[in-house]
Amino acid sequence: MSTNFETIKFEKNGDFAVLTINREKSLNALNSQVHMELKDLLSVLKENVDGIKGMILTGAGEKAFIAGADIVEMTDMTSDEAYDFATLGQENTLLMEELPFPVIACVNGFALGGGCEMAMSCDFIYATETAVFGQPEVKLGLIPGFGGTQRLAKLVGRNKAKEILYTGRNIKIDEAKDMGLVVKSFSSIEDMMNAANETLTKISHNSPLAVALSKHVMNTGNDLTVSEGLEVEAKYFGEIFSSYDMKEGTKAFVEKRRAEFKGK
């Protein structure tokens, strides 16, 4: 896989990978180039030929995770170009959700607009105590374009999301945790990255197939009624019974030993 990118950095260490948005001077703002490089990378990662068991998404530097879509680039966009830009960004959020392994957003500062939207497309969010979230698009005469009108409402409830979107206000870490947007906060970037690696390690001891299917069923169910979602759950619950990992996991329990999962 080519890892020769200009605006993103992809590093694989053993079973895990770190994907960094790498435009520190612009506070990692998402321009078209970032999105095109992300699309190239995420499309390959979706097939997971390297057997990655977990990934961290973060931003370069200490100030920002992602300070939003690139406002400088958007200034001159036509309506058609803006539509294409939003569609490209949305494709990447969908690709992130479809990766067959867990992705933790490690938010190291500002996660505004498109930054908050990218973080919400990950499986869950860890953040530093100084992190700031928000959807400030209305302050720029815009609306969110990479999923903020949809995912924030599903995460924190529609009325809370409306209040956040209409005011465009900043959300500090305690509130972000209270509303369930952030799962855990840390006093330093180093502590956050270590904790994310520990969480990925803990997850990797489980069946990778079962983790991937849990992710798939939960994300699919997000767009369905409860009874439709339960049907999807039953379908995959049935299918997983013909997997090696299910036989191994249940047998290991009965034999009182640690399971050796293969992810198939």
Residue choice 61, 100, 113, 249 for contact with ligand CAA (CB under 6 A): 113
117 catalytic per annotation: yes
Residue choice 100, 136, 208, 249 for contact with ligand CAA (CB under 6 A): 136
The minimum distance between CB 28 and ligand CAA, in angstroms, equals: 8
- For ligand CAA, which stretch binds (CB under 6 A), given 38-46, 137-145, 154-162, 221-229? 137-145
The minimum distance between CB 242 and ligand CAA, in angstroms, equals: 42
Q: How far apart are CA 108 and CA 193, in angstroms?
A: 10
Q: What is the 3-state secondary structure (H, E, C) of the chain?
A: CCCCCCCEEEEEECCEEEEEECCHHHCCCECHHHHHHHHHHHHHHCCCCCCCCEEEEEECCCCEEECCECHHHHCCCCHHHHHHHHHHHHHHHHHHHHCCCCEEEEECCEEECHHHHHHHCCCEEEEECCCEEECHHHHHCCCCCCCHHHHHHHHHCHHHHHHHHHHCCCECHHHHHHCCCCCEEECCHHHHHHHHHHHHHHHHCCCHHHHHHHHHHHHHHCCCCHHHHHHHHHHHHHHHCCCHHHHHHHHHHHCCCCCCCCCC
Interhelix angle 208-221/79-98, nearest 10 degrees: 140
- For ligand CAA, which stretch binds (CB under 6 A), given 67-75, 150-158, 223-231, 249-257? 67-75
Q: Which is nearer to ligand CAA, 41 or 67 (CB)?
A: 67
The minimum distance between CB 210 and ligand CAA, in angstroms, equals: 34
137 catalytic per annotation: yes
Residue choice 140, 179, 189, 246 for contact with ligand CAA (CB under 6 A): 140
User: Tokens representing 65?
Assistant: 């995770």
Residue choice 54, 59, 68, 208 for contact with ligand CAA (CB under 6 A): 68
Site string for ligand CAA, 27-56 (x = CB under 6 A): x-x---------------------------
Residue choice 54, 100, 102, 145 for contact with ligand CAA (CB under 6 A): 145
Considering the rule CB under 6 A, would residue 112 count as an interface residue with ligand CAA? yes
CB count within 10 Å of CB 86 equals 17
Residue choice 100, 102, 114, 208 for contact with ligand CAA (CB under 6 A): 114
Considering the rule CB under 6 A, would residue 59 count as an interface residue with ligand CAA? no
Q: How far apart are CA 81 and CA 88, in angstroms?
A: 10
Considering the rule CB under 6 A, would residue 88 count as an interface residue with ligand CAA? no
Considering the rule CB under 6 A, would residue 26 count as an interface residue with ligand CAA? yes
Q: How far apart are CA 108 and CA 111, in angstroms?
A: 8
Residues 171-230 that bind ligand CAA (CB under 6 A): none
Q: Which of 6, 62, 73, 137 is catalytic?
A: 137
Q: What residues make contact with ligand CAA under the rule CB under 6 A?
A: 26-27, 29, 67-72, 89, 110, 112-114, 117, 136-137, 140, 142, 144-146, 148
Residues belonging to the active site:
117, 137
